[in-house]
Chains A and B, each alone.
Chain A
Amino acid sequence: MFSILRTIWDVFLHTFRRRVTVQYPEEKPYLAPRYRGRIILARDPDGGERCVACYLCAAVCPVDCIALQATEDSSGRRYPEFFRINFSRCIFCGFCEDACPTYAIQLTPDFEMGEYLRPNLVYEKEDLLISGVGKYPGYNFWRVSGVQIGGKDKGESEREAPPADIHSLLP
């Protein structure tokens, strides 16, 4: 009986509590830097595309919302011919970001992607590419990898020794 009265009183005291609702459109919620929102494709510090079209993101995607086609440019750099993310399918799990070997695909703290037409949720490469490096400044896959491309021969990467001359008997 007294617990009933106490409950009523306790609930009444909530009149003077702060409300926990965040009044969203006027008042933006805090989103952590690692919030998993809209997916972007980052670029190298020198402006080239980071994506090497390895298909790992498309393979790991649990809802198969990533589609891409690999191709090569004249210098031998792999890049996606098209890169398409269907955000009406995407569940923002972040597996693609985990899978990406070149820090190209990244999730950002932005979720305001509403559209009136469903086809508008399919983002093409030009919608996904940003001009910056995203969360990983200074990283450039083609500089650190041992892959040979035009303008960079074997052994010319950063922190890479020149290749051994297997025809020489010198130590």
Chain B
Amino acid sequence: MDGDIAGMTSPLPFASIFGVLIVALTIAAGLIWVERRLLALWQDRYGPNRVGPFGLLQVMADMIKIFFKEDWIPPFADKWVFILAPAIIVVTVLMSFAVLPYAPGIVVNDLNVGLLFVLGMSSLGVYSVVLAGWSSDNKYSLLGALRAAAQMLSYEVFLGLSIMGVVLLAGSFNLTEIVHAQRGLWFIAPQFIGFVLFLIAGVAETRRLPFDLPEAESELVAGFHSEYSGMKFGLFFVGEYLGVTLISALITILFLGGWLGPVLPPIVWFLIKTFFFIGFFILLRAALPRPRFDQLMNWGWKIMLPLSVANLLVTGAVVVASTPGA
């Protein structure tokens, strides 16, 4: 170990920071359009296709609209926490993007504990939701926040455990090294159970459908962001889409060999794989109904957690057995 932080790996640190920031935010905004178009496709509709080519400028129109909305803070809300909460989710998710290797050399900070950093940041994201629900001083928001806290805590557990198999196989927490360890075989093959577990946990972690119980509109109005309007609501939205992008990118890095692939340039491979999973996330939303909250908890603690522990155990045994002199 040469210190905690391996240092900037990019020759132009600020270029890569702004590059990643701009690309990530653009993708998150663009996902609003992608999601609406894909949902429409799977519901035999067109979706937004009027504003600009293929309706691409719909996002711009939505942005202009949301900027002009009244930014209302309820008089009964805890003002400063209320204002701070939406920022937390965007900041924590964006922090995670800093350690992701997109292609050889395209990484803001190639942290040697990158994976732990990502897990930690996604755990911090819970604060955003809980504080938003708490400061709103509204029963629906609070219920949403409670649900979010319980859901994130219980799914966080095996979100971490499910990727420990990958860490064992790669022998590193460094995401770049994890990608390099997949030169021979993508980890989706030896770690298929881990992949499925991580996918499910990832959906729950980003509070996407079908695990969107914290904001279940049929029960809780809009859950933790019931009281939010204008760009604060927009930030929750951007945070959610950033989360989807992050989980998709993480799946790509951990299980699908990141940028590895023939012929095409590495960054293209990375984007193809990432967008495949973003599409899959949206497909899940189009296809699946929301479970009941107790079902969600049962599923998490009674099925997913034992499975991930078993997966870790078997992977560990295989790694130990195949290491000479262990």
Contacts and interface: CB of A to CB of B under 8 A. Distances in A.
Nearest to B38: A15
Contact of B46 (A11, A15, A21): A21
A6 to B, nearest CB: 10
Nearest to B287: A11
A19 B288 contact: no
Contacts of A12: 42, 283, 287
A11 B44 contact: no
Contacts of B283: 8, 11-12
A143 to B, nearest CB: 52
- Listed residue (A18, A19, A23) with the most chain B CB atoms within 10 angstroms of its CB: A19
B41 interface: yes
Contacts of A11: 42, 283, 286-287
A7 B44 contact: no
Contact of B287 (A8, A15, A18, A21): A8
Contacts of A4: 288
Interface residues of A, number: 14
A4 B283 CA distance: 12
A34 interface: no
Interface of B: 41-46, 283-284, 286-288
11 contacts: A4-B288, A7-B288, A8-B287, A11-B42, A11-B283, A12-B42, A12-B283, A14-B43, A18-B44, A19-B44, A21-B45
B113 to A, nearest CB: 35
Contacts of A21: 44-46
A19 B287 contact: no
A7 B287 CA distance: 6
A17 interface: yes
A160 to B, nearest CB: 59
Interface in A1-60: 4, 7-8, 10-12, 14-15, 17-21, 23
A80 to B, nearest CB: 43
A12 B43 CA distance: 10
Contacts of B284: 8
Contacts of A14: 41-44
A9 B46 CA distance: 20
A11 to B, nearest CB: 4
B46 A19 contact: yes
Given A8-B284, A11-B287, A23-B46, 11 more contacts: A7-B288, A8-B287, A10-B287, A12-B42, A12-B287, A14-B43, A14-B44, A19-B41, A20-B45, A21-B44, A21-B45
A171 B46 CA distance: 78
A14 B282 CA distance: 14
A12 B44 CA distance: 11
B272 to A, nearest CB: 17
A167 to B, nearest CB: 78
A97 to B, nearest CB: 34
A20 B288 CA distance: 22
A17 B288 contact: no
B264 to A, nearest CB: 23
Contacts of A18: 44
A15 to B, nearest CB: 6
Nearest to B43: A14
B295 to A, nearest CB: 12
A21 B286 CA distance: 18
A82 B18 CA distance: 70
A7 B179 CA distance: 33
Contacts of B42: 11-12, 14-15
